[in-house]
Amino acid sequence: MFASAQIKKICSHPNSLTLFRIAVIPLIVFLLLFPGRLFTFTAAILFSAAAITDFLDGFFARRRGLVSRFGKIMDPLADKLLVSSAFIMLTSLGWIPGWIVCIIIGREFAVTGLRNIAAQQGKDIASSRLGKYKTGFQIAAIIPLLIHFQYITIDFQAIGSVFLWAALVLTLLSGFDYFIKFRSLLKT
């Protein structure tokens, strides 16, 4: 009973959930080195579990007053590592176009750079609603793309591709939104 309570406490701490998200990345990458039905499905399950922790760590941090500097830095970094790793592996398998991944990852670097410049000036560029939608659509694209194979006449690759195009549009729009916010921030 004591061990169960301790495990529950550790697993519900926001920073532990963030670290879980980082720790699962090598497992997903390894599974995708062997792109058969079992391994890609398992990778999709692991990715889904990690993506759920993205919501949970923020929820627990705010609800329990456990917002920390570590979490503020590592949470978005963990998200970017998870999504970027999955996209890179999907590209290496030839399941998605590399140019889309370059735009998505390039946007992440650009926005991170803008946020760092703003932070050095003592200012903050908060996450926008577009950014949250972008992340949601990226996750919604990655999961079926990881499954890849057809099951019960469901073409997961096609479903993932539709979400990927929507994610690309939202990635570009949210990137432009950050640049506009950054430009306005510099004028103040």
Model pLDDT for residues 82-138, shown as the tens digit of each residue: 999 999 999 999 999 999 999 999 999 998 888 888 878 877 777 788 888 999 999
Residue with tokens 């889904």: 48
Contacts of 21 (CB under 8 A, 6+ apart): 50, 53, 54, 57, 78, 79, 81, 82
Closest CA to 91 of 101, 81, 105: 101
pLDDT at 71: 63
Does residue 24 surpass a pLDDT of 90?
yes
pLDDT at 64: 65
Contacts of 178 (CB under 8 A, 6+ apart): 110, 111, 114, 115, 125, 128, 131
| pLDDT above 90 coverage of the chain, percent | 54
Does residue 169 surpass a pLDDT of 70?
yes
For residue 167, CA distances in Å to 126, 128, 131 come to 20, 15, 10
* Least confident range of 56-65, 79-88, 157-166, 169-178: 56-65
User: Which domains occur in the chain, in start order?
Assistant: 2-187 (1.20.120.1760)
Does residue 70 surpass a pLDDT of 70?
no
| Residues 126, 147: Cα–Cα separation, whole Å | 33
Does residue 56 surpass a pLDDT of 80?
no
* Least confident range of 30-39, 50-59, 166-175: 50-59
Contacts of 133 (CB under 8 A, 6+ apart): 170, 174
